[in-house]
Amino acid sequence: MALTIDKITYYLLLLFSFLLPISRASDTIFTIYFSLFFFIYIIFNYKKCLLLKDRFFHIIMAFIAYILISILWSSNQKLGAATHYLQWFAIFGLAIYISKHIQIVDKLLTFFLAGMLISEILSYGIYFGLWSINGKDSTDPTPFMMHIDYSIYIAFAALILLNRLFSNRYTIKEKIFMAIFFVTMSGNLFINGGRTGQLAFILALIVSFFIHFRFNVKNLITVLMGAFLLIGIAFYSSKNFQIRTNQAIDDIKLMQKNNYNSSWGLRLYMWKIGSSLFKENPILGSGINSQKDLTKKYLQDNPPKSLTNWSINVIKNHHLHSQYIQTLVELGIVGIAFIIAIFYQIFKFKIIKDEFRELKYIFIVIFLVGFLPEPLFLKQFTNILFIFFISILYALDIYNKRRVC
């Protein structure tokens, strides 16, 4: 059987789904491929492509345009962070292709989970000292990405499995395998140091429970007790989780003494700086890529008395550890309004397929919670995860609305 462009794209998409949690290089290649797929497709199908009339399409395109325009008033007039948002063009290429091959959506999730299984095996191997990948040891068993990014991936994968366990769409044999996978995946989350994913997981777990069960006091108590039990088991069985929890408690004690030389302390200090920078240009922001320059100037004008030189260097060379604050500083209220509009449109997606409709709410919770301590759109792996899953949801939405090109 001869390979057509359509077939090649089909196999590439499955490969992309599998490599998503494994390869940084492949993520970039595939977003470029599907961005080009979108532009080439539009050139030849401009008049008949109903996607171009869709509100979500208009909002994303307007947001990307606004980010590029903001370079004009930025102190750093390079593409820089804007490239993360330019990758969003791949959403449309992926959505167009998937909407024409809607039967592929289940396979995409399966291939993604298969990639997560490989990643998990490698992670446990690092944790138990069987091997080392990229110099990682048992204190940070994340084979291919930073622990924060990895925790978001694990949280989402674990909740895909939990959602399937709650569902009546799978057989007992399938659920036995899923239950084992869910337990090992949850364990992997808590042996890693990503507290962002852990928090997102707990809150999304509660949401997942109430997607399937009636909301009442009894069920609320049940799910809260389950969450506390899970945290307790993690604390007493995972040395890494124990260490990270104790570090958080120590950080809070230091902050109470106005000492910000700690992980949480630096985050809080960056948020304080961010709130001050936001007030300088609250409507339009200071432009994409401007945050580091503004932070350095702020520290020069307001020398911190309680911070060590190491802490000052960390603040100067890092983002503001919050998607919300980062956006407010660089893109202002207009930028935040765009993000709210994007997630509102995702919330409104009309999805007939039950599993993906349920996962839509779980995914939204994971990202909105993850935005609190991390700018997930500025981190390659989490930005690609957003592109991947939103493309699937968008494809289902435009398919159901009969807006397929």
pLDDT in tens, 360-383: 999 999 999 999 999 999 999 999
Identify whether residues 125 and 271 lie together within a single domain: no
| 405 is a domain residue | no
Query: Across residues 49-64, what is the average pLDDT?
Result: 90
Identify whether residues 203 and 54 lie together within a single domain: yes
Provide the pLDDT for residue 95: 94
Provide the pLDDT for residue 239: 82
| 354 is a domain residue | yes
Q: Which of the listed residues 316, 347, 377 is the one where a domain comes to its end?
A: 316
Identify whether residues 165 and 295 lie together within a single domain: no
| DSSP collapsed to 3 states, the chain | CCCCHHHHHHHHHHHHHHHCCCCHHHHHHHHHHHHHHHHHHHHHHCCCCHHHHCHHHHHHHHHHHHHHHHHHHCCCCCCCCHHHHHCCHHHHHHHHHHHHCHHHHHHHHHHHHHHHHHHHHHHHHHHCCCCCCCCCCCCCCCCCCCHHHHHHHHHHHHHHHHHHHHCCCCCHHHHHHHHHHHHHHHHHHHHCCCHHHHHHHHHHHHHHHHHHCCCCHHHHHHHHHHHHHHHHHHHHHCHHHHHHHHHHHHHHHHHHCCCCCCHHHHHHHHHHHHHHHHHHCCCCCCCCCCHHHHHHHHHHHCCCCCCCHHHHHHHHCCCCCCHHHHHHHHHHHHHHHHHHHHHHHHHHCCCCCHHHHHHHHHHHHHHHHHCCCCCHHHCHHHHHHHHHHHHHHHHHHHHHCCCCC
Identify whether residues 347 and 307 lie together within a single domain: no
Average pLDDT, the chain: 91
pLDDT: which is higher, 42 or 404: 42
Identify whether residues 107 and 173 lie together within a single domain: yes
Q: Which of the listed residues 316, 340, 372 is the one where a domain comes to its end?
A: 316
Identify whether residues 40 and 142 lie together within a single domain: yes
Query: Across residues 70-76, what is the average pLDDT?
Result: 94
If one counts the domains in the chain, the total is 2
132-146, 188-202, 261-275, 322-336, range with greatest mean pLDDT: 322-336
Q: Which of the listed residues 256, 285, 316 is the one where a domain comes to its end?
A: 316
Res 40 pLDDT > 80: yes
Identify whether residues 282 and 158 lie together within a single domain: no
Identify whether residues 344 and 393 lie together within a single domain: yes
Identify whether residues 170 and 127 lie together within a single domain: yes
Identify whether residues 179 and 286 lie together within a single domain: no
| 169 is a domain residue | yes
pLDDT in tens, 266-298: 999 999 999 999 999 999 999 999 999 999 999
Range of the domain at 285: 246-316
Identify whether residues 209 and 353 lie together within a single domain: yes
Provide the pLDDT for residue 45: 79
How confident is residue 1, by pLDDT bands cut at 50, 70 and 90? very low
Provide the pLDDT for residue 220: 84
| 11 is a domain residue | yes
pLDDT > 70: percent of the chain: 98
How confident is residue 2, by pLDDT bands cut at 50, 70 and 90? low
Query: Across residues 382-392, what is the average pLDDT?
Result: 97
Query: Across residues 218-238, what is the average pLDDT?
Result: 84
3-7, 77-81, 215-219, range with greatest mean pLDDT: 77-81
Provide the pLDDT for residue 405: 63
| 40 is a domain residue | yes
Identify whether residues 150 and 284 lie together within a single domain: no
| 280 is a domain residue | yes
Provide the pLDDT for residue 161: 94
